Amino acid sequence: MTVASVLGRCTASLLCTTILLACVNTTARAEASRASIDARVERLLSQMTVAEKIGQLAQVNADEGKMSDKLRAAVKAGMVGSVLNAVDVATVNELQRIAVQESRLGIPLLMGRDVIHGFKTVLPIPLGQAAAWNPELVEQGARMAALEAAASGVNWTFAPMIDVSRDPRWGRIAESFGEDPYLTSVLGVASIHGFQGDDLSRPDAIAACAKHFVGYGASEGGRDYGFVGIPEVELRNVYMPPFKAAVDAGVATFMTAFSDVNGVPASGNRFLMRTVLRDQWKFPGFVVSDWESILDMVVHGFAANSKEAAFEALSAGVDMEMASTTYRDHLAELLAEKRIDQATLDAAVRNVLRAKFRLGLFERTVTDPAAFPPVASAQNMALAKKLTTQSLVLLQNRNDVLPLTRASLHSLAVIGPMADDDYEQLGTWIYDGDPALSRTPLRAIREMVGPRVTIRHVRAMETTRSRTTTAFADAVAAASSSDAAVLFLGEESILSGEAHSRANIDLPGNQMDLVRAVKSAGKPVIVVILAGRPLTIEPILAAADAVVYAWHPGVMAGPAIADVLFGVESPSGKLPVTFPRVVGQLPLYYAHRNTGKPPLPGAFTHIDDIKVRTSQTGLKNKSWYLDAGYEPLYPFGYGLSYTSFAYSDIRVEPARARVGVPVTVRAVVKNVGKVEADEVTQLYVQDLVGSVTRPVRELKGFRRVHLRPGESREVSFQLSADDLAFYGRNMTRATEPGAFHAWVGGNSTAELRTDFELTAN
C-alpha cells in the first residue's frame, strides 16, 4: 500500500492515522535503506579501477560446476561479477571467500542458476503450474525452490520465464505460463514474490530474473532463436505486460532475449531497454544478457565483430554479459576511444552493485546448509504433490469411466513408456533434480490399490519415439485380462525445452498404434499424457475413453495422478494454452482479433464435403481452414471435473460508468454434480470498439473456488480503469470509453454474458 493510496482511501479515522503512520515509517525505512545502499555503491564505485568495473559486468560459467584455476585467478583479480552453475556449496563458499577476502575490494559474487521449476524437489514444469491457475501455490513453490537453492549458495535464479507463448512447436513453451498475458503476469509476479520473499536481504531470498525481454515466445515458425516480427502495439499489449508487472513487483533483474526483435536483436535494442525498461518503466535493477547473446549479434549480422557487439549491448543497456567475453575484451578500448563514456559504464556497474547490496551479500558470504530446512523434505514433497494434482487437466471422460473405483477393481493394466520412468516425468531444466526422488505413476498406483488388485505392467515401448511394435501383443494381453487399461504416453523430457522445437506435435513414435491396439482388447482405455507442450491428440480421442493431460509433472507425478485416477481428488486443472487440432492451425490462441469475415457457425463445409465445381464464393468467404475448420480441439481455460458446475446470475455494477470508476462483475457458480471439487472461475472481457482493434476476448480475472455438491458461491471481479487499459493508435496507454461484454464461466468459450459501458464523462 502506498501513502498516496492510503490518503486516497481514508477519511480522518484513528485507524487510518495509524495505517498512515505505519506507511510513512515503512516508506521512510525503505528510502533510508535505498539511500544507504546508494551511498555504499558510490563509495565502492569511487575506489574501482576501470578493469574492476568491467569485471563486475562479467558472468562466468563454472566449469562442470566446479572451480578451475582460471576461475579462481579471475575472481581473485576482481574480474568476475557473477558465476553461473556452481551449486556445490563448498565450491560456492570458496569462490565467495576468494572474492571477499582475496580480491582487492572484496566484492561478493552473484551465484546464478536456472532454478526453473523447483531445485531438488522438482515441481511440474511452469506450463503445468500454469494449468493449476493457483498463484498462491506457484508462489509457495518458488519459495520452496528458493530455500533449497539458497542452501547451496545460489543467490540468483534465471526465472521466471514470462514469455507469452502461443506456439506449441516452440520447445520453450514448457518453461512458460502459456498463451495469456494476464495469466502469465499473475503467475510471474507470484514466482517473483516466492523467490525474493518480502525482503531480498534475507539469507533465504534469491534474486529473480524476468526473462526473456522480449518477444522470444513469438519466434517465427516456433523455431528456437528465430526472428520475431511483432508490431509495437502488439509488443506493448501482449508481450510486455508480464514484464511490466514484474518491474512493479520489484523483480531484481531482467534477461534479454536471444531474438532479433523487428530487426534489432534484443541484446542490442535501445528501444526495449532504454526507452521502455528504464525511461518509461523506471526499472531500478540490472539487465543480464542471455548466454552469449551479445556475441550472437555478430552472427545475426547486426554487429560487425565482437567489439561492435559489446558497444551495441552496453549502449543499449545490457549491464552484465553472460558467458561470452566481449565486455571484458573490448570495453576498456571503447572507453579509451570515447565511444563509450565513463557514465555509461558506471551506470551499469552501479546497477550490478546495487543488486549485491540489496541481496545483503556484503553482510554474509558463507552459506551454511545446516541453517536451512532440509531439501526434498516431506513438506516439500507434499507441496509438489498439491501443485501437481491441481495441474492435471481432464480433457475427456466418456461414460464417466473415471474415477476408477478401488472397491470393485480386480485388475488394471498399466502400459506405456511414461508409466514408470523416474527421469522422464521431470521435464526440462532439472539440473539439480534427482530422479531417485521421483514417485512414478506405476509405483503410486500399486501403493494406492494394494496387493488385492492385480497390476499388469507393460512398458510396451522403450521410449515415446520407439517404432518397434514387438511388445504390443503383451500390452493387448495385459489389457484383455484386466478390468481397464491406463496408458502413460507423451513425450520425453528431451523433446521440449530450449532448442527442442518440433514441427510435428503428434504423439511421437508408434504411440498412436499402441492406443489403438490396446483399445482392441475391448476394455476401458484411459490415457494419461506427460508432455512439455500441447500435442495434437485428436486422433486418440476416438480410441481413449478418458484423457488426462499431466504435462511433465515432476517428482510427485505418481501420487498426484493416482489420486485423480481413483477419485481421491477431482481434477481441477484448466488449459493455460489452446490445444490445436492440427499443427497447421498454429499459432492459435483465444484472444485473437476478429477478421472482417469471421467464421459463420453452421455454414462451414469441410474439404471432404465440397461439391464438384462449387462456385468461387459458394463456400462463403469466411475465415477458416477448409480442412481443419476454425475451432481448436480444446479452448484456453478448458478442463473437466468429476462434478459439473452451473453458472448463473451474472450482473455488472454499475452497468454504465465514467472511465475511472471501477466496475464489478458478479456471477453465481454452483456445484450441480455429486462430488466436492474445485472450479477455476474465469472472467473474460471484450472491448467492442477501440482505436486499435481489440481481441475477441481477454482474460481479466480468475478465482479457484471449492464447492461441495449443491453448494453455490457468488464470485466477483472488480475491473479498474487500469485493468481495461491498452495501447491505442497513438501508442499511449488509456482506457477508451465505449461498450464492453463480460463473460463468467469455466473456460474461454463461456456464454454467460453481461454488458457495460464506460463513458468519457
User: Which of 687, 686, 688, 693 minimizes the C-alpha distance to 729?
Assistant: 693
Minimum gap (Å) between residue 498 Cβ and ligand BGC: 6
Distance CA 694, CA 533 (A): 27
Minimum gap (Å) between residue 112 Cβ and ligand BGC: 7
Instruction: Classify each residue of 570-609 as buried b or exposed e, where b means 16 or more C-beta atoms within 10 Å of its C-beta.
Output: bbbbbbbbbbbbbbebbbbbbbeeeeeeebeeeebeeeee
Beginning with the edge strand found earlier in the chain, give each strand of the sheet holding 753-759 in spatial order: 656-658, 753-759, 738-745, 677-687, 698-707
User: What residues make contact with ligand BGC under the rule CB under 6 A?
Assistant: 114, 158, 211, 290-291, 498
**Is residue 290 annotated as a catalytic residue, yes or no?**
yes
Distance CA 670, CA 642 (A): 14
Residue 381 main-chain phi, psi, to 5 deg: -65, -35
Which residues are registered as beta bridge partners of 667?
Answer: 715
| Grid cell digits, residue 116 | 526453473
Q: 534465471: which residue's cell?
A: 158
Instruction: Classify each residue of 6-44 as buried b or exposed e, where b means 16 or more C-beta atoms within 10 Å of its C-beta.
Output: beeeeeeeeeeeebeeebeeeeeeeeeeeeebeeebeeb
User: Which of 438, 479, 423 minimizes the C-alpha distance to 455?
Assistant: 479
* Residue closer to ligand BGC, measured from CB, 116 or 413: 116
Minimum gap (Å) between residue 290 Cβ and ligand BGC: 5
Q: 521435464: which residue's cell?
A: 427
Let me know how long the chain is. 761
* Residue closer to ligand BGC, measured from CB, 125 or 484: 125
Minimum gap (Å) between residue 325 Cβ and ligand BGC: 16
Minimum gap (Å) between residue 207 Cβ and ligand BGC: 13
Minimum gap (Å) between residue 323 Cβ and ligand BGC: 8
Q: Which of 114, 163, 180, 290 is catalytic?
A: 290
H-state helical runs in 1-106:
3-9, 14-47, 50-56, 69-76, 89-97
Residue 435 main-chain phi, psi, to 5 deg: -55, -25
Q: Which residue number has the CB closest to ligand BGC?
A: 158
Minimum gap (Å) between residue 83 Cβ and ligand BGC: 12
Beginning with the edge strand found earlier in the chain, give each strand of the sheet holding 454-458 in spatial order: 393-397, 546-549, 525-530, 484-490, 411-415, 454-458
For residues 680 and 133, is the Cβ–Cβ distance under 8 A? yes
What crossing angle do the helices spanning 342-358 and 326-336 adopt, rounded to 10°? 140
User: Which of 683, 697, 676, 671 minimizes the C-alpha distance to 746?
Assistant: 683
Could you count the other beta carbons within 10 Å of the beta carbon of residue 620?
12
Minimum gap (Å) between residue 685 Cβ and ligand BGC: 32
What residues act catalytically? 290
